[in-house]
Amino acid sequence: MLEQGGAVSQEKILYKKGERLWTKEEFTERLKEVGHSFYHDKHPFHTAMHQGKLSREQIRGWVANRYYYQKSVPIKDAAILSNLPSRELRREWIGRIIDHDGTQAEEGGIEAWLQLGEAVGLSREEVVREDRVVPSVRFSVDAYVHFARTKPWIEAVASSLTELFSPDLISKRIKVLERLYPWIDSAGMDYFQNRLTQAPQDSDIALKLVLIYCQTPEDQRRAVEALRFKCDVLWAQLDAIEKAYPLKSD
Amino acid sequence: MLEQGGAVSQEKILYKKGERLWTKEEFTERLKEVGHSFYHDKHPFHTAMHQGKLSREQIRGWVANRYYYQKSVPIKDAAILSNLPSRELRREWIGRIIDHDGTQAEEGGIEAWLQLGEAVGLSREEVVREDRVVPSVRFSVDAYVHFARTKPWIEAVASSLTELFSPDLISKRIKVLERLYPWIDSAGMDYFQNRLTQAPQDSDIALKLVLIYCQTPEDQRRAVEALRFKCDVLWAQLDAIEKAYPLKSD
């Protein structure tokens, strides 16, 4: 599934056992290397999106499928919340759920994603009914929720660190969608605009926790693996979306 | 464990299968009957407390053990949150977690319970270390958290309905503690004062959900069983506390 250049040798570095404890700088660097190699910004479907090559149907398929991920994020975060060992940690985490679910006063990320759906020409009802969501998208997202429920909380926190890499991708995406897909109603961009400020705040907290609570080489290795797992979750979604909405060969 | 008058015949009524769907009024009445028969206000330890018969050590033992329950409540509620099927439902539930954990601006129920600990002469450190928490208190509370994690969400919601009965008990308790245990610093009463307004709001929402989402006789029966289970959880805690801090015979 993940046939990228350098992936195998990268893995050897990442998963070698018996290493000494990395310094915080080395550990942060290892985490960032995971993103550099495996984050879904390099997936062919994203590459095609950012080159303006996707059809309306492909954009719609991506938005409709990705809804299943969006709606599962607060479920995942509530699972992590329930596994956090103190109220101080829960206080730092609970805002993520509110960001996605919203409040009576202010709608959140799920609503913003539904508005993106409308902006690309999907009815709210068909997105919510999940008509277009393909099984492999469901399976990968469900695997992520299951991971958050069942793994030690610090690994679940580490798995969220793809947010270290998302602001770069999202800021490019906003420009790409506006310039290369002018038929998309710009009212649908709120989700991405909001994530530009939310994601760095979230990843600051998550990285702080991972650096504090991973105290052994094994902890550090597992955090790196958790982040790699999360990259796989995102990558697998795009694989499934590409399969359902194939790219044209050049 | 639950040797109360009428318990056996009550159970026969509650658990008889094949019944027709209860009306909302009948269903609410069945739920209230569970509280009438099995809520822990009738436990000998609470009876003795409300008669002013507990020693300082017994009050301290109760507060110190009950801390384990208090600290587990937001964990339980986050588990329910993670099982709720929509953002609308999560929005209604998330406030419970904030009530207990607090925010940077306002401390919550766990902090208030620690202040109650100080008011009865326990250091914050010994409460947090859980020195006095006896295994059976841990087991019963852990059973409650496990129930919330693993049962259908509506049963977990139903199990929270002991809050239908808590305002009566708590309003009596505030007066009892102030009058019969004047050595307790009144600054420790905030937890109970806050619950007098929070519990009715919480039980209103939970009862509304249970009445809406329990659509078959089997659903209704399970909701009643869930509430009975929760009563057992509370009762078992007092059994364990009474065993560790025995009541004097009259």
Alpha carbon dihedral A115, A118, A120, A126, in 10-degree steps, equals 110
Helix (H, G, I), strand (E, B) or coil at B3: coil
In this structure, what DSSP letter does residue B17 have?
S
Chain B residues close to A91, C-beta within 8 Å: 101-104
Q: Please answer yes or no on whether B82 and A78 come within 8 Å at the CB atom.
A: yes
How confident is the model at residue A16, as a pLDDT?
A: 55
At residue A248, the pLDDT reads 87
Given a cut of 80, is residue B16 above it in pLDDT? Answer: no
Which of chain B's residues have a Cβ under 8 Å away from the Cβ of A150?
none
Domain A20-244 sits in CATH at 1.20.910.10
Q: Report yes or no: B103 at the A interface, CB cutoff 8 Å.
A: yes
- Could you state, in order of their start, the residue ranges of all structural domains in chain B? 20-244
**Within 13 Å and on the Cβ side, how many CA atoms surround A3?**
3
pLDDT at res. A72: 98
pTM of the prediction? 0.89
pLDDT confidence bin for A8, thresholds 50/70/90: very low
Q: Does residue B170 register a pLDDT over 90?
A: yes
Residues of B in contact with A110 (CB under 8 A): 87
Average pLDDT of every residue of chain A:
93
Nearest by Cα to A41 from A191, A223, A176: A176
pLDDT in tens, B209-237: 999 999 999 999 999 999 999 999 999 99
Half-sphere exposure of B39 (CA within 13 A, CB side): 19
* pLDDT recorded at residue A202: 95
Q: What is the pLDDT of residue A9?
A: 45
- Say if residue A4's pLDDT is above 70: no
Per-position DSSP letters for chain A, written without gaps between them: ----TTHHHHHHHHH-SSPPPPPHHHHHHHHHHHHHHH-GGGSHHHHHHHTT---HHHHHHHHHHHHHHHHHHHHHHHHHHHH-SSHHHHHHHHHHHHHHH--SSS--HHHHHHHHHHHTT--HHHHHTTTT--HHHHHHHHHHHHHHHHS-HHHHHHHGGGGGTHHHHHHHHHHHHHHH-TTS-GGGGHHHHHHHHHHHHHHHHHHHHHHHH--SHHHHHHHHHHHHHHHHHHHHHHHHHHHHSPPPP-
H/E segment holding residue B164: none
Residue B4 has pLDDT above 50, yes or no: no
Burial class (CB in 10 A: 0-12, 13-18, 19+), A157: buried
**ipTM value for the complex:** 0.85
List pLDDT tens digits, range A31-43: 999 999 999 999 9
Please give the helix or strand (H or E) that residue B247 lies within, else none.
Answer: none
**At B19, is the pLDDT very low, low, confident or very high (cuts 50, 70, 90)?**
confident
Q: What is the pLDDT of residue A11?
A: 46
Q: Are residues B97 and A90, on separate chains, in Cβ contact within 8 Å?
A: yes
Is the predicted pLDDT of residue B18 greater than 80, yes or no?
Answer: no
- Chain B contact set for A100 (CB, 8 A): 87
Overall average pLDDT of the A167-176 stretch: 95
Q: Considering only CB atoms, which chain B residues are within 8 Å of A84?
A: 78
For residue A135, pLDDT over 50 is answered with yes
- What is each CA distance from B148 to B77, B80, B84, B142, in whole angstroms? 8, 6, 11, 10
By the CB < 8 Å criterion, does A174 face chain B? no
Q: Is B97 on the interface with A (CB under 8 A)?
A: yes
**Chain B 126-165, residues with CB within 8 Å of chain A CB atoms:** 149
185-244 of B, contacting A, C-beta below 8 A: none
Mean pLDDT on B10-26? 70
With the C-alpha atoms ordered B179, B181, B187, B192, is the resulting torsion angle positive or negative? negative
pLDDT at residue number A5 = 41
Q: Do B97 and A101 touch (CB under 8 A)?
A: no
What percentage of chain B reaches a pLDDT higher than 90?
Answer: 90
**B226 Rama sector, left if φ>0, alpha if ψ -120 to 50, beta otherwise:** alpha
Judging contacts by C-beta atoms under 8 Å, the chain A residues touching residue B87 are: 71, 74, 100-102, 108, 110
Burial class (CB in 10 A: 0-12, 13-18, 19+), B30: middle
Confidence check: pLDDT of B142 > 90: yes
pLDDT (tens digit per residue) in A179-203: 999 999 999 999 999 999 999 999 9
Mean pLDDT of chain B: 93
Q: Flag whether residue A2 sits within 8 Å of chain B, measured between CB atoms.
A: no
Position A204 scores a pLDDT of: 96
pLDDT band at B248 (very low <50, low <70, confident <90, very high): confident
B76-95 burial by CB neighbour count: b if 16+ within 10 A, else e? bbbbbbbbbeebebbbbbbe
So what's the pLDDT on residue B86? 96
Query: In whole angstroms, what is the distance from residue B74 CA to residue B91 CA?
Result: 15
The answer to whether the CB atoms of B87 and A102 lie below 8 A apart is yes
Taking only the tens place, the pLDDT of each residue in B119-130 is 999 999 999 999
Q: For residue A244, what are the contacts with CB-CB under 8 A and spacing of at least 6?
A: A61, A65, A132, A134
Q: Give B226's contacts (C-beta < 8 A, 6+ positions apart).
A: B147, B151, B155, B156, B158, B159
A97 at B interface, C-beta within 8 A = yes
Determine the residue among B70, B82, B94, B114 to mutate to test chain A binding: the one whose Cβ has the most chain A Cβ atoms within 10 Å: B82
Burial B154-190 (b: 16+ CB within 10 A, else e): bbbbbbbbbbbbbbebbeebbebbeeebeebeeebbb
Q: Percent of chain A having pLDDT more than 70?
A: 92
Instruction: Report the pLDDT value the prediction gives residue A17, as an integer from 0 to 100.
Output: 55
Residue of B nearest to A91 (CA): B103
